[in-house]
Amino acid sequence: MTEASIPATPESETVVSEPVVVTSEPVISSAPQTATTVATAENTTEDTTTEESISTATNVIDDLSLVPPTGKSRLFVFNEFKEELTFTIDDLEHKIPVNGQIPIDLEPGKYTYTISIPGGAVNGSVEMSADESWGIGVRSDGAVYNPTRIYPKE
């Protein structure tokens, strides 16, 4: 397990002086996924997730169209955290409200992203092919789900 420190970010007018610790690096895999835990001043425990709980989390997007436009890739980003998060990919910043989700249509390719929550941030990457949809999100405890392909299912 790799451990890296990420400097804290301002929270309104208050700066959190404690570092944020990422307890594992994001990976791209079709194998069962685990969550990357972002420890904040309120959350300092490491946690993992099973494939079943990722499936449960992605049920939030069942009522949205999983199929991207022909030749494109679609990335669903969801937020179960208690505060709004900022998701940055392809030089575009997306605000995701509490319990919200958004689909982002992109050209096929490899992308790096940043997920920022009050008190910290985590970086990762995802590689998507044409006509694929992927999901990524933040759990209520601040753990970040690794990118998981959700369409087409294998």
Q: What is the architecture, at CATH level 2, of domain 4-151?
A: Sandwich (2.60)
DSSP conformational letter for 60: G
Please give the pLDDT value at position 4. 34
Please give the pLDDT value at position 65. 87
Residue 60's nearest CA partner among 77, 73, 48 is 77
56 in helix, strand or coil? helix
Question: How far is it, in rounded angstroms, from Cα 147 to Cα 116?
Answer: 16
Please give the pLDDT value at position 75. 98
**Domain ranges across the chain:** 4-151
Please give the pLDDT value at position 154. 77
Please give the pLDDT value at position 34. 46
Mean pLDDT per 10-residue segment, the chain (154 residues): 37 33 33 45 42 52 76 98 97 97 97 95 97 96 94 88
Please give the pLDDT value at position 153. 85
Please give the pLDDT value at position 129. 98
Question: How far is it, in rounded angstroms, from Cα 28 to Cα 5?
Answer: 21
Element (H, E) at 53: helix 51-58
Please give the pLDDT value at position 1. 35
